[in-house]
Structure 1
Amino acid sequence: MVLYNFKQIQVVPTGKDFVDIVLSKTQRQTPTVVHNGWAINRIRQFYMRKVKFTQSSWHDKLTKILEDFPKVDDMHPFFGDLLNVLYDRDHYKLALGQLHTARNLIDKVSQDYVRLMKYGDSLYRCKELKRAALGRMCTIMKKQGPSLAYLEQVRQHMSRLPAIEPNTRTLLVCGYPNVGKSSFMNKVTRADVDVQPYAFTTKSLFVGHMDYRYLRWQVIDTPGILDRPLEERNTIEMQSITALAHLRAAVLYVLDISEQCGHSLAQQAALFHSIKPLFANKPLLVVANKVDVTQLESLAPADKALIDEMVSEAARMSGVSPEDAKLLTMSTLTEVGVMEVKQIACDRLLASRVEAKLQGKRIQDVAFRMHVAQPKPRDRQGRPPVIPANLAAARARKDAGEKMRTEKDVEDENGGAGVYSADLRKHYMLDNPSWKRDIMPEIIEGKNVLDYVDPEIEAKLEALEMEEEALAAAAAIEANEMDIDDLTPEQQELLRRIQARRKVVVREHRLKKGAGNNQAIVPRRNNPRRISNTQTMKASLERVGLDASKAIARARSRSVSRVGRKRQRDASAGAGEAMEVDGSQAPEKKRIHSAKSRSMSRGRALSTAKPIEGSGLKNVAQKNKAIKMGDRAQRRMGKMARKGEADRHIPDLKPKHLFSGKRGIGKTDRR
């Protein structure tokens, strides 16, 4: 059976709104400009497109409506009969059938006029055919106005129907009006049904859910039923009759023994016997409500006989033994007996569902695949259940009336929260209870880590530290006692500079350490202290008392030699050109000279390529050979003109075919 979610049915527009929606969509999403100078085939295609688009819009929208509304023959019998009670099944089918016919007529109109439009010989003739086609379609849909209005009313009512699952575990509460059905449902579920002291407060089915034995149950509250013939019952009563007829549930027939509902016990018993065929093959319980107003013992013998007759009849119909049959009593006002009624009803329903499954045909297929394993005893030793000694002692103290001493009591006795710290080790279960207070209670063969620590380690460590402090003090005294008079005036000046420089370095280090990482990093070219040139090198070396003349001369000589080599190459090239012009040197000699200079230049450059430690190259010769082999391999890739890792690549982060705007049919943004 297909279960529909009636709340997902879309709104059904009226006939006039339907026409406006489709024609507006056609105007917006089809071309709107046509010229008389176009070829006749193009004009035909223009108007044929409008007719086909309109027909497609009608077809899609009508198909959506027909698919949303459930088919009566495919629904569960409960929903089918409930639909028949509320809306009349014949009217419902007629309305859907008329929409189905209208859809076929619109398709036929479109087909006929498209066929005629293929023979249109002018723009005016094609335009009139298009107007006629759209006009006939709109006329057909305007005639469906009553059907569309009826279906919208049905949709609104169906969206308000409760979500009832016909095949799940269900408790169905029924009886006369104002006997306490809604009050019982509010007590056992999370529902909030309106309860008033007059009849027919509940006018439709209400569903609530509860949990019992880790299972989800649904409880259905039905409107009150009066004892009269079926043809005289109204729509409100027929909803209850439909639920009793089709739902596989445990039925709770509620009696008002106080007769405050306005009906006597004889009338309630008569209703029970009149609707008795609806209780067949269902667990049935008779529940007496309002025992807080009238006690069961205070009833008249005739009323007791009627109640006993109903209880015995309910037991017979449910297949319960007469010994187990009994009248359930409760009071929804004081909640006496409410939970007992709920438990007994749920247990009866579970037992009946299991029995029904055992009597079915599928149980045989399942039984052949089942195997019940019985454990075998591994020895003859008895293992009776044992209660731990501490638990037994706690139970004994509880039975003796002693209050259990909790950790909260200990905390209050020792100063309260924030002062007392709970002892988490007193419940440790160790082989030796003395291990609980160990600093490191990891047990290794009966010992912990502290058992392997030298107990005099702290005294030895203190003696070692004192020895180091004595050595450091002696070294300081020896340094201070250095005889400065033995030094020459130059050495004394140098020592003074070194000590001053040391103080500056220490002070700068402390300032940098105190500032942390909050100082901004100034680029080297803008920081006068970090500029690398011969002046700064000379000043830094002279500050520590070193002669910087040789270092400066070496740096300048390297710079001069680099510039000199460049000038030498330029001079040799100029001399060669001059010789070639003068004719005093042969071209062959010039080529040999230029090749030699190039090889010397390359060799001088390669000689600086020192191998890095750990790279696998022993000396400069192997490093130069590796560079040549790499150049040779790259030369072949260069001839193939392929992209390498050194080639610059600017990725296109927004490719046009993915990020450019796409305009759908009928959009006029370009205008």
Structure 2
Amino acid sequence: MSSLYNFKKIEPVPTSSDFVDIILSKTQRKTPTVIHKNYNIGRIRQFYMRKVKFTQENFDEKFKNILDEFPKLEDIHPFYADLMNVLYDKDHYKLALGQVNTARHLIDQVAKDYVRLLKFGDSLYRCKQLKKAALGRMATVMKRQKDSLAYLEQVRQHLSRLPSIDPNTRTLLICGYPNVGKSSFINKITRAEVDVQPYAFTTKSLFVGHMDYKYMRWQVIDTPGILDHPLEERNTIEMQSITAMAHLRSCIMYFMDLSEQCGYSVEDQVKLFNNIKPLFANKPIVLVINKIDQVKPEDLPEEQRKWIEDIANEENATVLTMSCYNDDGVMNVRNSACDKLLAARVEMKMKGNKINDVINKIHLAQPQQRDNIARLPNIPAETKTRVKYDPNDPNRRRLEKDIEAEQGGAGVYNVDVKKKYLLEDDEWKYDTIPEFLDGHNVADFIDPEIEEKLEALEREEERLEAEGFYQSDEEILDDEEEVLRTAADAIRDRKKLIVQAHRAARGRTRPVLPKTAAAKFTTVSEMDRQLASMGIDGTDASERTRSAAESRKRTRHEAIPDEAVKDAGAMDRGDSEAQEIASEGFRNVKQKLEADKQKKNVQKQSSKMGKRGEADRQIQTKMPKHLFSGKRGMGSTDRR
């Protein structure tokens, strides 16, 4: 909850001139900057419309951040709303935020009007002037917000310095006249470092410290001192205390100085309490009498003691005494105030509506009394007679520690782990237990009833055999099941043969020709003989195959290109270059060049991984500037 009122996260509010500079600079950086008059007029309009819209969107974004980050007095806790009213005047604050919101709408309207005019711009110059006028009017609107932005920046700086107070957590609120020891007390019980001086109004604002009590976090608020005069005459410093007392659910700790060293009499301090007690309604009150090292309540006159007793009786206040000078009673005051606040918070929750939902879920069982016998708590006799171990008693029970000391102490003594073995004969404790005996594992013969179990198992087996438990079911098979089993056995045998044939075929060294290759070695006459052996007339198929083959025949000129013929002629003539190309497996020079080109392309990627090393002698800068710059004599300089 306290993070909700952490105003340190509000971003700084720039001045009006800085605001304009930021927005226009962003427009220049984030939008295109080059336009020519020979562009299409639609493109020119779009260029300048984008400038105006982008500027308006940036203004809108900045204003929206300001309006969202500053707290709205209607949405925050009444304590903070009244505190901001005391510190900054809520009318002035609302007016500043309202002017920022108005400027946001004005800039939106200016952008809308000028975008509408830019749609009808007929030249580059006209569009540029409209854009210029739009941004100028936006800047003018911003200049009018100079005072509002400066005020909001001052409010932001002051808000960031305010302590983060959680209005709903466990709180101790310290109040009273100036210089009665409030800041000294908060310094004692928390880590807060509030300035303490021997004059009034040292504390000018609220200070918050935190502490732990009963595993819970507590906040302690030190308020500025207040004087006894009407509310309308109180200044800003005093109104902070009044606001805290009025709105925070806390334990009110009203401090009094009976020694009157604070500069105010006991009567004035009692009058101040009666004056501000309407602010303490429904809150636990602790009346703290400070500086008892100077004057104690018993030392006061009867009349003044009666005033303090009246406060304690009428307001149900708890009167506690302490002294910050010698720390007498400080922690008692703190603990009593915390306990009283916890009790008040529980009582308030019990009166609320939510308690009914909680009580319905809780059931506390109460045992019913069955007779009139009183059953008091019973302490066992052993516990009563238990005597504390005395190491100097000669009749004491010997401990393992005593045995260790007798046998050489730590590092020499070895614990006897076998002495507490429970065996029939104590002499067996230290016998060596063999793991193997006569070639057999001893663990297999540990069970003393192994023979009886074995006999019982054999009797069970004989009984099952006699009853026919292990007889085969094959004798009672019917005819259908017999047929199915026979068919299944035949299928299994067939599968085994197929698998064996497949494995034998895989193990051959002779490669198996594919169908396309095998077709090349099959002639038409072989096809005729095969068809005739099957009793089929294959005349039509043979003729159709021969006619298709004739239609696919190529001429010699088509089959052998001229270049191959020339290369063959060159080889016949003994051309050494052609013979070398042919020996490498290429048909001609063109094919060899293409292959070399492909090889270079493949090697290019791997060559990119090469790094420059120490052996690569290379001068990075041919003519270093530091050797050729400086004072010159007469004449021209040539650095090339």
What TM-score results when the alignment is normalised by the length of structure 1? Answer: 0.59
Gaps of 5+ in 1: 316-324, 403-409, 426-435, 462-615, 636-651, 653-671
Contact 1:189 1:210 in 2 (8 A): yes
Report the counterpart of residue 150 of structure 1 in structure 2: 151
SS in 2 for 1:275: helix
The 5-angstrom pairing of residues 330-349 of structure 1 reads 330-349=322-341
Report the counterpart of residue 358 of structure 2 in structure 1: 366
Number of corresponding residues? 441
Q: Tell me how far 1:389 sits from its aligned partner.
A: 5.4
Tell me the distance in 2 between the aligned counterparts of 1:264 and 1:422: 79
Q: Tell me how far 1:340 sits from its aligned partner.
A: 1.5
Report the counterpart of residue 329 of structure 1 in structure 2: 321
Report the counterpart of residue 206 of structure 1 in structure 2: 207
Contact 1:85 1:235 in 2 (8 A): yes
- Cα 1:453/1:293, change in 2 over 3 Å: same
SS in 2 for 1:328: strand
Tell me the distance in 2 between the aligned counterparts of 1:451 and 1:116: 117
Q: Tell me how far 1:278 sits from its aligned partner.
A: 0.7
- Cα 1:623/1:255, change in 2 over 3 Å: same
AA paired with 2:184? S
Report the counterpart of residue 256 of structure 1 in structure 2: 257
- Cα 1:38/1:353, change in 2 over 3 Å: same
- Cα 1:455/1:24, change in 2 over 3 Å: same
Report the counterpart of residue 438 of structure 1 in structure 2: 417
- Cα 1:172/1:326, change in 2 over 3 Å: closer
Report the counterpart of residue 534 of structure 2 in structure 1: none
- Cα 1:437/1:294, change in 2 over 3 Å: farther
Q: Tell me how far 1:341 sits from its aligned partner.
A: 1.3
Tell me the distance in 1 between the aligned counterparts of 2:67 and 2:218: 33
AA paired with 2:337? A
1:357 aligns with 2:368: no
Q: Tell me how far 1:91 sits from its aligned partner.
A: 0.5
Report the counterpart of residue 131 of structure 2 in structure 1: 130
AA paired with 1:173? I
Deviations 1:73-108 (A, max 9, x none): 111110000000000000100000000000000000
What is the percentage of aligned positions where both structures have the same residue?
A: 58
Tell me the distance in 1 between the aligned counterparts of 2:65 and 2:86: 25
Tell me the distance in 2 between the aligned counterparts of 1:385 and 1:87: 69
Deviations 1:423-459 (A, max 9, x none): 9x9xxxxxxxxxx841698x8xx579x998872579x
Q: Tell me how far 1:376 sits from its aligned partner.
A: 8.6
The 5-angstrom pairing of residues 242-281 of structure 1 reads 242-281=243-282
- Cα 1:290/1:59, change in 2 over 3 Å: same
- Cα 1:129/1:186, change in 2 over 3 Å: same
- Cα 1:451/1:391, change in 2 over 3 Å: farther
- Cα 1:627/1:66, change in 2 over 3 Å: farther
Report the counterpart of residue 22 of structure 2 in structure 1: 21
1:224 aligns with 2:200: no
The 5-angstrom pairing of residues 234-245 of structure 1 reads 234-245=235-246
Contact 1:285 1:314 in 2 (8 A): no
1:48 aligns with 2:54: no
Contact 2:418 2:429 in 1 (8 A): no
What TM-score results when the alignment is normalised by the length of structure 2? Answer: 0.62
Deviations 1:283-338 (A, max 9, x none): 111110011122322222222122222222321xxxxxxxxx65210111211111
Tell me the distance in 1 between the aligned counterparts of 2:239 and 2:315: 22
Give the root-mean-square deviation of aligned CA atoms: 4.1
Contact 1:286 1:314 in 2 (8 A): no
Report the counterpart of residue 57 of structure 1 in structure 2: 58
Contact 2:257 2:291 in 1 (8 A): yes
The 5-angstrom pairing of residues 361-510 of structure 1 reads 361-374=353-366, 384=377, 386=379, 393=386, 437-438=416-417, 446=422, 455-456=431-432
Deviations 1:140-182 (A, max 9, x none): 1111111111101100111111111111111111001111111
SS in 2 for 1:58: helix
Q: Tell me how far 1:384 sits from its aligned partner.
A: 4.5
- Cα 1:15/1:326, change in 2 over 3 Å: closer
Contact 2:5 2:165 in 1 (8 A): no
SS in 2 for 1:258: coil
Tell me the distance in 1 between the aligned counterparts of 2:116 and 2:430: 108
Tell me the distance in 2 between the aligned counterparts of 1:333 and 1:396: 47
Contact 2:419 2:429 in 1 (8 A): no
Tell me the distance in 1 between the aligned counterparts of 2:389 and 2:235: 65
AA paired with 1:455? D
The 5-angstrom pairing of residues 84-233 of structure 1 reads 84-233=85-234
Q: Which moved more, 1:295-304 or 1:99-108?
A: 295-304
Deviations 1:539-591 (A, max 9, x none): xxxxxxxxxxxxxxxxxxxxxxxxxxxxxxxxxxxxxxxxxxxxxxxxxxxxx
Tell me the distance in 2 between the aligned counterparts of 1:627 and 1:184: 100
Deviations 1:187-224 (A, max 9, x none): 22222222121111111111111222222111111111
- Cα 1:175/1:388, change in 2 over 3 Å: farther
Q: Which moved more, 1:184-193 or 1:103-112?
A: 184-193
